[in-house]
Amino acid sequence: MASPSDQTAKIIDGKAIAHTIRSEIAEEVRSLSEKHGKVPGLAVVIVGDRKDSQTYVSMKRKACAEVGIKSFDVGLPEEISEADLISKVHELNSNPDVHGILVQLPLPKHINEENVLGAISIDKDVDGFHPLNIGKLAMKGREPLFLPCTPKGCLELLARSGIKIKGQQAVVDPEAIIREADIVIAACGQAHMIKGNWIKPGAAVIDVGTNAVSDPSKKSGYRLVGDVDYTEASKVAGFITPVPGGVGPMTVAMLLRNTVDGAKRVFGQ
């Protein structure tokens, strides 16, 4: 990282902002419980035993517990058929205690992700991946029920940091739109690292990338970095997110936010 004397960019602390948002959500959940006798419910469906997926699901389960959201964990075997998986999704669609459904990606190769995501009720599509939500997001004058969590988190980071984007120029690496179209919608590319001299002085840099690089000093043997050369970029940018501790915590916070918003629609608020 850049030394304090070299760094000009203000750090956008995603971890701190996400903590504030979680506190706000916890208060909303308490209010909903007192008023309606129910709390929002989030179902997370995981197929197989990929360690990275298990880690993500565990993190989401912990986040739900912290804010009072009821967590429904659905673990299914790797060999489950697409039809049986979709049947489980329909079952969750019909469960009145579930206000959000997330199917952890990637799915096994024998399952068509598009078919599974399309089977989730649009009213419970808290990942924002349903074709109707994505379609409305792409159309002028239309409002999707849910925004995908990562880009929504990026916008929230900017807003809570006092950075106005209306009328500004935004640069997005097109390689990432191809690579991560569903999950990120807009991000930086993984195949190369964005250098400081690529950045306009004073720009706000939101780094969505997560890459593991070898680091013998770490117990795990690796450390996480983004898609931006943080040391160089922080000398040029006006604002910058670190990795880790930038966008990642916001993605989970926005998942909780979407789940509560889905519940509030059901509760008539």
Contact yes or no for 255/24 (Cβ under 8 A): no
| Catalytic residue (one of 7, 104, 124, 207) | 104
Instruction: Give residues with Cβ within 8 angstroms of 232, minimum separation 6.
Output: 2, 195, 196, 197
Q: Pick from 65, 67, 71, 74: which is nearest to 31 by CA?
A: 67
Structure tokens, 73: 């964990």
Contact yes or no for 228/194 (Cβ under 8 A): yes
Q: State how far the Cα of 163 lies from the Cα of 170, in Å rounded to an integer.
A: 13
| Catalytic residue (one of 70, 124, 125, 127) | 127
Told to judge if 168 belongs to the known catalytic residues of this protein, a careful annotator would answer no
Told to judge if 60 belongs to the known catalytic residues of this protein, a careful annotator would answer yes
Longest pairwise C-alpha distance within the chain: 59
| Catalytic residue (one of 60, 124, 152, 235) | 60
Told to judge if 54 belongs to the known catalytic residues of this protein, a careful annotator would answer no
Active site residues: 60, 104, 127
